[in-house]
A and B are shown apart, each in its own frame.
Chain A
Amino acid sequence: ILNVEQSPQSLHVQEGDSTNFTCSFPSSNFYALHWYRWETAKSPEALFVMTLNGDEKKKGRISATLNTKEGYSYLYIKGSQPEDSATYLCALASNTGNQFYFGTGTSLTVIP
């Protein structure tokens, strides 16, 4: 079992603020790092897959970076909106990429 940690556990920001949170993972056996967005009463929705050290992905106001050597990924949200409120999960895919280890998530609440 690989330990994937996310911080902070929860975050409250004002609408318009930019924010970021962290996913830490053991750097050995790395295959890919996945970010998911999980809204209450829905299923996790894939945001990004990153595989290479230094990868940076962007989707609208959300972006993510990856450092496989030191074992972390950052997720950034620029100009947070209430609809960004959700739990953001990261998952480490190891070995062949089929085994996923999820962090416990960062719960983001954007206050209008």
Chain B
Amino acid sequence: NAGVMQNPRHLVRRRGQEARLRCSPMKGHSHVYWYRQLPEEGLKFMVYLQKENIIDESGMPKERFSAEFPKEGPSILRIQQVVRGDSAAYFCASSGPGETQYFGPGTRLLVL
């Protein structure tokens, strides 16, 4: 049973470009969470999704960031017009309803 998968593991973008981060949850998990770890900070919740639904996006920046979890395929975190301050590690986690979250290896985004 493969764990949570994220790709790419490392992503370099220039300011103004778009970044797309993908997360495939563990088999059987219907809940996906995205977290961001800024340099020298802890994990901050961004968004919680179930298939085709955003349940809680209270941690998402109001602009440029969006997330989806389509019926088929991985969850996508999309950052438009990236800025240097978006440089961070982005972690995805998945779980069954009300269960422990299992984390992926993260995507390290560097904006030049």
**Could you list which residues of chain A lie within 8 angstroms of chain B, going by C-beta atoms?**
1, 31, 34, 36, 42-46, 49, 89, 91, 93, 96-105
Q: Chain A residues with Cβ under 8 A from B42's Cβ?
A: 89, 102-105
Q: Chain A residues with Cβ under 8 A from B35's Cβ?
A: 102
Q: Chain A's interface: helix, strand, loop or mixed, by majority?
A: strand
Q: Is the CB of A99 within 8 A of B56?
A: yes
Q: Chain A residues with Cβ under 8 A from B100's Cβ?
A: 34, 46, 49
**Could you list which residues of chain B lie within 8 angstroms of chain A, going by C-beta atoms?**
4, 31, 33, 35, 41-45, 48, 55-56, 58, 91, 93, 95, 97-106
Q: Is the CB of A100 within 8 A of B33?
A: yes
**A100→B94 CA distance, assembly (Å):** 12
Q: Is the CB of A99 within 8 A of B43?
A: no
Given contacts A34-B100, A99-B56, whether A43 and B45 have CB atoms under 8 Å apart is: no
Q: Is the CB of A98 within 8 A of B104?
A: no
Q: Is the CB of B45 within 8 A of A98?
A: no
Q: Chain A residues with Cβ under 8 A from B45's Cβ?
A: 99-102
Q: Among B4, B91, B97, B105, which residue has its beta carbon within 8 angstroms of that of A98?
A: B97
